[in-house]
Structure 1
Amino acid sequence: MNLESPKVAVDKSAEDTFNFLSDVKNFEKLMPENISKFEVLDTDKFLFALKGMPEIVLKKKEATPNSKIVLGAAGGKLDFSLTADITEIEPNKSEVKLNFSGEFNAMMAMMIKGPINKFLETLATNMPASV
């Protein structure tokens, strides 16, 4: 299953945006209002939970300076990744698109598609004001 957020413009350079997203503690600023838990576990790993959902641990798996950050599931039953693609538009303006990718059975995919789409949109929407 592959899902994408809308592209969002950020009034920061690609480098500044990359540096913001490279620091996992900053993801707390992007989370939806219905977050019930957020905890930094390591310099490249954090745990979060939304009300009514299980806890999810994400770990930074890959980072390409100023253009891409890949977070992946760290343990748990679900294997997925969340990729932030960063494009510099102007010296102090960049664009970010989030991509979610995971292998799920048809029943699981049906259940989580809506909430994950909403989650991606919220992360993207909160980005311009937070970076």
Structure 2
Amino acid sequence: MHLESPKTTIPKSADTVFNFLSDIKNFEKLMPENISKFEVLGDDKFLFALKGMPEIILKKKEVTPNSKIVLGAAGGKLDFSLTGHIQEIDANSSEVQLAFSGEFNSMMAMMIKGPISKFIETLATNMPKAV
């Protein structure tokens, strides 16, 4: 399953956006209002839970300075990734799109598609205010 957020324009340089997303503590500022738990577990790992959903641990898996950050599931039964694609528009603005990828059976995919789509859209929507 592959889902993408709408592209979001941020009035900051790609370098600034990349540095913001590289610091995993900042993901708390992007979370939706229905977050029930957020906990930093290390320099490259955090745990979060949304009301009515299980806890999820994300770990920084790959970084390409100023253009891409990949977070992946750390443990648990589901294997997926959340990738932030950063594209510089000019020196003072950039565009970010989040992509979610994972292998799920059709029943699971059907159940999580809506909530995951809404989740990544919320992260992207909150970015211009948070960065």
With structure 2 as the length reference, what TM-score do the two structures score? Answer: 1.00
Aligned to 2:125: 125
Aligned to 2:2: 2
Q: Which residue identity is paired with 2:22?
A: S
Shift of 1:108: 0.2
Aligned length: 131
Distance 2:112 2:45 in 1: 22
**Pairing 1:19–2:19 present:** yes
Root-mean-square deviation (CA, aligned residues, Å) is: 0.3
Aligned to 1:104: 104
Aligned to 2:80: 80
Q: Which residue identity is paired with 2:116?
A: I
Aligned to 1:47: 47
Percent of aligned pairs with the same residue? 80
Distance 1:96 1:104 in 2: 25
Aligned to 1:34: 34
Q: Which residue identity is paired with 1:20?
A: F
Gaps of 5+ in 1: none
Aligned to 1:69: 69
1:47-70 deviation line (CA, Å, top 9, x unaligned): 000000000000000000000000
Give structure 1 regions of 4+ aligned residues with deviation exceeding 2 angstroms. none
